[in-house]
Amino acid sequence: MKERFAKLLLGEDMSGGGKGVSSALALSNAITNHAASVFGEQAQLEPMSADRKARWRREIDWLLSVTDHIVELVPSQQVGNDGTKMEIMTTQQRRDLLINIPALRKLDAMLISYLDDFKDQNEFWYVQIDEENSEIGNTDRKDDKWWLPTVKVPPNGLSDISRKWLQFQKESVNQVLKAAMAINAQVLMEMDIPEAYIDSLPKNGKASLGDYLYRSITAEYFDPEQFLASVDLSTEHKVLDLKNRIEASVVIWKRKMHNKDGKTWSSVVSLEKREQFEERAETILHLLKHRFPGTPQSALDACKIQFNKDVGQSVLESYSRVLESLAYTVMSRIEDVLYADQVVQDPIKKIYSRSSSELKEEMENQDSSEGRVSLTLSDFMGWPFEQDKGNEKLPGNFDSLLCSEESELKKLPRIVTPKKVSYIEKVENLGGLRSPTSRH
């Protein structure tokens, strides 16, 4: 513990030469690296070992203990010996930390408990890469998860009970993923935009977007879905490039609307039009976040994390980000099992030989056609989550497990929501999340 905090105090520069990073960034890196060392081994749906659990809990408690000393003054009443009351100021943990740290701890415990639920499962198993060729009828993986062990299911596929239970587990993890994403997005939004990022911006939004994107966003008729269909989002790099361009234009327009930009700009575009363009760009960003939530951090987000000096915000951002990554990992492993079951049910599809994006889109279309609609972020905030239990009673401990999971979902912690996100109402009913990629 002394060694860990000595490294944090020195900003990761153990030479003591003063060349280390800020305390906020050092703490953020420490949480990220610790999560990578513990959860990076989670390649299968199985409980974490007792040693890994203890190591994760012990060191994350050390790192989070810093926030106990980030306080603010709040009014309180004190009663004297003679019965007189006086108002005094007392210290209390800063409000955003007081609300979100317990919420993130709860999400953390829930994700680990979901992994523990797979302890006694026996309807699927894994074949390691070196054992794969010895399996008769094994389908070679050609998607973006080629390094993971291949999932195997019985010749007739999973039982209906196991399939329903896996779907329930997937929805449960999806809710945790949405919660972690909401907290992370809120913290990043509240971070100040660094001057280094502002200095790198072009003089206007058109220069940032390019002619085609600018014309599309500023056209008289604008449909965000049609806009995304018209641009190339075939690779992660292209999605990230689009996000960087739009975020830069949003920052430029906001600064110009508030007269904070020293650069000259034309008055041809009215303030109302500029606000409309900014709102359209925010809508596109929100759609991109929910369609590709696992894309690497944008240039703006990375710059905010690098130059942020608020230790409390750094802890919230990094902790929510690593939980978001773990939630994705668990949900992705569940999807692997469901894909393997679908291969057995309909071998002609050759699911494992197709791209991951095609697989995810096909599964989502199938979910919609069967009437299973993923919950939106606004649904999550109220947690009106009900699982269709059907008429079939689950044998063994599945009934008690489902009941306990459902009751636990209804008790999810409070989180701080954004103060102003006017575009959410327009897109909150678009459907569920697509599985992101890990963001360690």
Per-residue pLDDT tens digits for 228-284? 999 999 888 999 999 999 999 999 888 887 765 444 444 556 777 888 888 999 899
- Burial of residue 226 (number of CB atoms within 10 Å: 0-12, 13-18, 19+): exposed
What phi and psi, each to the nearest 5 degrees, are found at residue 345? -70, -35
Where the chain has pLDDT below 50, the residues are 132-139, 142, 261-266, 351-357, 368-402, 405, 408-411, 416-440
CA distance 240 to 226: 19
Q: DSSP string spanning 384-420?
A: -------SPPPPTTHHHHHHHHHHHHTTPPP-PPPS-
Helix residue spans in 40-159 (DSSP H): 50-64, 95-116
What phi and psi, each to the nearest 5 degrees, are found at residue 200? -85, -5
**Angle, vertex CA 130, rays to CA 127 and CA 132, nearest 5:** 45
Helix residue spans in 69-194 (DSSP H): 95-116, 160-190
Rounded (to 5) percent helix, strand, coil in the chain: 60, 5, 35
Structure tokens at 98: 């007081």
Residue 176: predicted pLDDT:
94
Closest by CA to 193, choosing from 278, 298, 305, 277, is 305
Structure tokens at 151: 């999932």
Q: Indicate the pTM of the whole model.
A: 0.73
Structure tokens at 393: 């009673």
Residue 247: predicted pLDDT:
92
